[in-house]
Structures are given as structure tokens and as C-alpha cells.
Amino acid sequence: MSGLTLFYTAFTYIAIAIFLYGFLTRIWKYATTPSPLKIPLTPAPVQPAGAVYRIIQEVGFFKSLFYSNRIIWLAGYLFHLALAIVLIKHARFFFASTPVAFHWITTFEIWIGFIMLLPLLLLFLLRLVIDRTYYISIMMDYLILVLLMGIAVTGILTKYFVRTDIVSVKQFVMGLVQVRPEALPADPIFIIHFTLVMLLLIYFPFSKLMHAGGIFFSPTRNQVDDPRELRHETAWAAKG
């Protein structure tokens, strides 16, 4: 087994461990952080069922972004939709035989990579040309977009232009899943693609990408508007 294979095997396990530890730690912090003050974004639901429905609207349809900026909403929604399909498509590498449920993706997968890439390019350009967005953007915002674009571009290249040996890729991935290391495919584009994905996993818990889990714990979204019915009082105020 080559040294490069050993390095990427260890690199993969370390990246996954960092991602899981960082993600679960952040989720635990969100879940255990008290939020006694009522700060729901009005108009807000007055029943818990309404708050759940509101979260579903935010997660599934990006409702508040839709009413805020239709262009960014369209770009963001297309990207997330394409990303979900890409993740489902890549799940076949983790099974000895591809589940039948995944076969339908191959009928239009040629477009998915481009649908994922183009919104990222648009979001990157908007951060440069819109004054207000440019002013509030930091280097990490551009880094995330560049990293995601790099993953999309190298994925498109390995699929349609510099064809990667899918069999060797699946053997490598299955070896990682079964903790039985297999040879790393000798394809530079695939290695770059895989490296970028692992870097994304490492960076994910420490970036704004944590909105994927944090949205469920946002007080402005998950709180009900009942400050009069359930009034919070500090201990010293209750004694007075």
C-alpha cells in the first residue's frame, strides 16, 4: 500500500472525526444555551405547532429569504436542491450494490453539477458588486464559496471531461467504510476533489455552514409569541 493511500486514509478518518465532534458540540451548545427572553420575529405563531410549521417553511423553502431577496433566494435554493441530489447520488459509493432508488438520478445528473456551480458563481459575484453585501462580507464568506465551487468544478471534470475510474473510487470508499484501506485512485483531479471535500468537512463546524443545524435553535424562529401568557421573571424580581 502506497504512502499516499495511507495518508488519505488517515486524513479521511481525522476529517470525519473533527466534523462529527465539532458539529455535535455546536449542536449541544445551541440546545443547552438558555433563551428566556421572547424575541420571535413577528408576525410570529402563538402555538408550538405554528412554530414547528414556521421552522419547516424556513428549512424547506427559505421563506424569510424569499421575501427578503428573490435573486439570492433563487440562487440559494437551486444550490441547496442540487447539493441534496449530489449527496444522494454519492451515497451509492457507500453500498456494495447501488440501490434501485438511486437509479432515477442518472436520468438528469448531467445537469446537477452545473446547477450547483452556477448559483455559487452568482452568489460570489453578488458579494462583489452589491455595495451593502460587499461591506458586510468577510474573507471566510469568499473562502466557503471558493471551496464549494472547487468541489463542484472538480466533480464536473471527473464526471464528464477527465473520466475517473468509478470502480477504483468505489473500492477506495468501501475500504474506508469497512476500515479496510484500498488503494487511492491515481487520478489527480479526483484527489483534488476528495481533498476539497475533506477540507470542507473539517471547516464546516467552525463556519457559517453551521446554519444547517443552528436554524432549528434560532429563538427568532422557534419561539412562540406568548410573552404575556408566559412571563419570565428573574429570581430577585419574583422575591420583590
What is the number of other CB atoms lying within 10 angstroms of the CB of residue 17?
12
pLDDT mean over 148-167: 90
pLDDT reported for residue 171? 92
What 8-state DSSP symbol labels residue 217? G
Gap between the Cα atoms of 39 and 87, Å rounded: 35
pLDDT mean over 217-231: 84
Question: Coil, strand or helix: which one is 221?
Answer: helix
Whether pLDDT at 232 is above 90: no
pLDDT mean over 66-86: 92
pLDDT mean over 178-205: 94
Grid coordinates 421575501 are at which residue? 67
DSSP characters over 42-109: SS--SSHHHHHHHHHHHHHH-HHHHHH-HHHHHHHHHHHHHHHHHHHHHGGGGSSS--GGGGGGGGTH
Grid coordinates 477504483 are at which residue? 168
pLDDT reported for residue 98? 67
What is the number of other CB atoms lying within 10 angstroms of the CB of residue 142?
13
Q: What is the mean pLDDT of the chain?
A: 89
Domains of the chain plus CATH, in order, are: 3-223 (1.20.950.20)
Question: Coil, strand or helix: which one is 218?
Answer: coil
